[in-house]
Chain A
Amino acid sequence: MKRAHPGSPTAQPSALHLLHVGSMDARLIGLSIERHWTRSVRLVETLEDAQVVLIDCDRPGIEAALDQLAGHPRIGIVYYAFHPKDHAPRFQPRPVLGKPLNLESLPATLAQARADAAHVIAAAPPRPIAPPPAASAPAATPSAPAPLGHSLMTDDERDLCGGMDDIPATPGSPLPDKLFFNPDDYLIGRLQQALALASASGRPHLISGLPRLIGIEPRPVPVCITAFRENQLRPLAMTQLPESTGRIVSTPIIGEGDSPPLQRAAEDFLWNAAAWAARGRLPAGSDPYRPVRLRAWPNFTCAFASPHAMRIAALWTRTQASPVEIATRLGIPHRYVFSVYSAASFAGLLDTTAEHENAPAAPPSPPTPSDRPARPSILSRILRKLRDAV
């Protein structure tokens, strides 16, 4: 993958204000600017200083953001959404990009939006006339109770698991390209290579070319060592890395000069990096209809638990089933199961060997209240107490 070299209309970097953007996206974009775009984009804190703004159409409160822009016709606007086609009619002629953002081309898009806005003499306020598009969640009758997991997503859930619709329950239809991600484009691909090389050679291996140290020590149990802080790792893992970044090199020792580096079991580290890269997608080449199982629970005291991840682990460690089947049994959107599948596959916790003959009989469905009189209600209440307290 080549680095983008946007054809900026001026020599000055575009002054970008993240007007209506989730915290995760803000960190991700900030990191990209810091690392790659210092000549083409600079972040500004206020709308008054901005030449171009970025707006996430899927975040609640977009109307208020648009109201703020009403008095600033010379500010360029770039929108982005999980379903850009749904929003394009509303915001045309301004661009609506798809999620996840293609960070290679974003600087050029920002520069173009800035240039277009500079030509506006007296534009109408950008507030749209058409009503906002209907929610892109799976169709459901308004009166029907929302199935578990289909309730309104929080910003974090969108950031971490995307907003992709379910795929067909049975194979046959072509699957959308956006269902899959290429791990080689992300940190997880580099980590996987480093782990394989470290395990095969018995020597520590580093990922070179990143702003801070990150590498794998084989030891008896492989460990990931990094000088990135926890809050930097997530945006780094979600960012597509240029092809030239992240060569794997052997090293006699990891950690010299960096103090004190963070150490994590490689299994936990790869789980997290994969879950953050996946954002509710599957690794390229995966079959969402193929039965698999989790050979063990992930270490959830360190491993990132996406929505419903513990329920998924509880069911998937006891039964062999496809990701789509697991989602169906639990009554949750497919993207949550795809997230766990992706994380488990890179953490080495996915058992893909066919065991149809030896597999224990799969439970038809998780126990329901009628299966265990009185018990589930108290379990649910304890769970709620723990969830609210932690």
Chain B
Amino acid sequence: MMRRLLSVWHARNLEFLRDRPTLLFTLLLPIGLVIGMGFIFGGPPRPLFTVGLLGTSRATAADPFLRERRYVQFVPIHDEAAGRSEVTHQEIDLLLDLRGAARYWVNTDSPKGYIVEKLLIAADPGARRQPVTGQAIPYVNWLFPGILAMNMMFSCLFGVGYVVLRYRKSGFLKRLHATPLTAFEFLTAQVLSRLSLILFVTIVLYVGIGAIIHFHSVGSIALLLLLAVIGSLSMIALGLTIAARVASEEVVGGLLNLLTWPMMLLSGVWYSIEGSPRWVQWVAEILPLTQVIEAARAVMLDGAGIQKIIPNLVYLAVTTLVFLGFGAWSFRWRVD
């Protein structure tokens, strides 16, 4: 028995070592994850307070406050309305506008806002106060859109990627190829099948979890459904692209992990990445999951309308077409 076991062990080792792409993924993925996590979570301890800054820093009376970097993290904000919304929801503790005479927005319901305001007034007593009120969004509510979107992502990528691979390896795709069915028809059928499944599951999760945590979307449910359709299409198309021609489970698994891990960590499922380095945010914006989560939170938590999330929808629609086009172009029916 031991001899048979060792023979199989040896043969499998050889197979693994000779499968260069798999070997590469196996080595590079954990390295990439460790380096990535180091960049995101490394460095000095996180500050106690977060202050949004509108406009560039220049010589102002608030300078001593702006130099207070040990306990305060300053985050550039480009859109005043978005910044005010973040103060309202206590996602940041204070919003400071440096574009003219210093003024700031602080949430009078926020204990951290109260303290950080004292620090600002100590440096610049003349800063004009703009009080806002609003309860912090419970973390579970903030997390909910991210969890729904992440579940969609896994179903789209793994559900489609592995299924197509299995069809190819078993020869089922080859049999289909011998019929009048075209690659585009096959891929479209896969997309639609997975889309209907995902929508069904997502609706069940939305209703079920929503009932448990007493969540009610502030924005339009129809708009959320539209977002779910376009977001799912983009990620299904990405899954098909991965499985378009590969015939190895290890390679497909590696590629899917390479996509899902960064999306899980960088797309803002678990926490906001506003305080992360600029390049991390830039990478995050490329990921379809980020676009889905941003838009879903805007609709579900802030009641955003279609105008607000149209850039996200357009991005997802364009990536759908790009991924599907590439998938159809590179599709292989059989193992070469």
Decide whether A and B assemble into one complex: no
B interface vs A, CB < 8 Å? none
